[in-house]
Amino acid sequence: MRSVFSRLLTAACALAGTAAAVETLEVLGKDFVNSKTQERFQIIGVDYQPGGSSGFSTSADPLSNATACLRDAALMQRLGINTVRVYNLYPLLDHSECASIFNAAGIYLLLDVNSPLTNGSLDRTDPSGTYDVAYFHQVFGIIESFKNFPNILGFFSGNEVINQDSVYEVPAYIRAVQRDMKDYIAKNVNRTIPVGYSAADVEDMLMDTVNYLSCNLTNSTESRSDFFGLNDYSWCGNSSYTTSGYDTLVEDFANASLPAFFSEYGCNTVQPRYFTEVQALYGKDMIQSFSGGLVYEWTEESNDYGLVQLNDNGTVTLLVDYEHLRTQYDAIDLTLITESNSTQTSVEAVDCAADLISGDDFLNAFDLPARPSGVQDLIDNGYTKASVATMVAVTSTTIPETVYDASGAVITGIALKVEASDESNEPGGNTSGSTSSSDSSSSSSGSSTGTATGSAASSTKSGAADKLSTSAMLGGLLGALVATVATL
């Protein structure tokens, strides 16, 4: 009996050094589903690139500063999101703390594998000249860096690579990149991680892009997209389901064989943004064609799409768009959007054929480029130069920055809620923070900054993610310990 107690105690101590984790997601037909419960998962998310592309370098990226990640994860959790898209990442930086923080918050990550650095992306005007082994140091490096985290929803193989400026053969190169990514994952990762594409809303190319990337290719099934993101800004101001063209998109994607979602949305030509499209996107008319979406974007930059403003004095202002979006998220019928549907999950892809493509200027051949020299070796042996992130514990949950609402009042008590094991965040899940009418301040007079956190972005602070809140994970083992002790 004492040996049983000893084993349980050892197991409990071991768990004290791990972090509660969300459940992995998988693709079934045209749905994302929870791999454990098989419950449907709808993306309720935002796009995250503090500082824009200029805020990224080899010394700092959006997931390399734990202090900034704790701040943003807590504020995002309070907003009600369950997914973040991150565009520009550098594989040699350590992402352990940030990935662990978002995991603890119950927030999934959708990661672009490309970057604006040299050899960091596929050139739409010269794909053959940029599809080389140097490019895959970036691509495989990102996969390697984040492969250990259960909250990685998927990887984007490209963003708006296919458009009016791209050369004819680009679609074949996108499928080739996806083939190589999925082969790398199959060989070097202990689970399947979905790979997909994010498309520009170019009307005369959209469905050809979907059909080309989603069909089954007999000799290269792994090159098929697992999901499809659409960057869409057609709903502006107080538009409607029909005026915006959402009804047409629903018809277009009704027979899609993979999960489709808005990888960017949130037109800003009418301000402030009230995000009335949220009720349509998560309503009964759209949920059979779309799996949610990601609002563009988290931080206020020069393009004026931000939900929050990072001030030069280190404070944060929640803009009025943040509150409007939070109100819309709180009105989502969560039961409706998570109901599983066997019709959705049983959809199968059609075989690739030239007649799937309707445009004369869109590639209708499916012969994929051969792998460049050296890429097969990386797949077989793994990319070894990346900083492989590992799960670390999170106990520092209160954000140190002063936070203001849109009127300039201080919001106190905002903290990250460490989700129970297997739980993801949802609207209303974190209601921390309160405002006093006497707290109005001059915060808004501080100018906004376009950097993630200034020069400190590359150096994570110790203590932001170094110990564990384990209550959600240890309940079962502690109960077993108590029961065992009672018998001794």
How far apart, in whole angstroms, are the C-alpha atoms of residue 112 and residue 232? 18
**Sign of the Cα pseudo-torsion (180, 183, 187, 191, in order):** positive
Question: Which residues have CB under 8 Å from 101's CB, separation 6+?
Answer: 66, 69, 70, 73, 394, 416, 464, 465
Catalytic annotation, pick one of 26, 97, 144, 264:
264
AA letter at 177: V
Question: Catalytic annotation on 160?
Answer: yes
Q: What backbone torsions phi and psi does residue 109 show, to the nearest 5 degrees?
A: -120, 130
Tell me the C-alpha to C-alpha distance, in Å, between residue 12 and each of 20, 336, 422, 471: 13, 38, 18, 11
For strands 260-265 and 152-159, give the pairing.
unpaired
Residue environment code for 301-314, b if the CB has 16+ CB neighbours within 10 A, otherwise e: beeebbbbbbbeee
Contact 411, 318 (CB under 8 A): yes
Within 13 Å of residue 318, how many CA atoms lie on the same side as its CB? Answer: 24
Partner residues linked to 434 by β-bridges: 412
Q: What backbone torsions phi and psi does residue 27 show, to the nearest 5 degrees?
A: -100, 125
Q: Map tokens 């903290």 to a residue.
A: 415
Question: Which residues have CB under 8 Å from 243's CB, separation 6+?
Answer: none
Residue environment code for 388-409, b if the CB has 16+ CB neighbours within 10 A, otherwise e: bbebbbbbbbebebbbbbbeeb
Q: What backbone torsions phi and psi does residue 212 show, to the nearest 5 degrees?
A: -65, -40
How far apart, in whole angstroms, are the C-alpha atoms of residue 95 and residue 63? 6
Question: Catalytic annotation on 26?
Answer: no
Q: What backbone torsions phi and psi does residue 398 show, to the nearest 5 degrees?
A: -90, 125
Q: Find, among 111, 64, 72, 59, the residue nearest to 88 by Cα.
A: 111
Going by the DSSP 8-state scheme, the letter that residue 264 receives in this structure is E
How far apart, in whole angstroms, are the C-alpha atoms of residue 124 and residue 164? 10
Contact 406, 324 (CB under 8 A): no
How far apart, in whole angstroms, are the C-alpha atoms of residue 5 and residue 11? 10
SS3 content of the chain, % helix, strand, coil (to 5): 35, 15, 50
List the strands of the sheet with 25-28, edge to edge: 25-28, 31-34, 40-41
Which tokens belong to 185?
């994952």
- For the annotated catalytic residues, the residue numbers are 160, 264
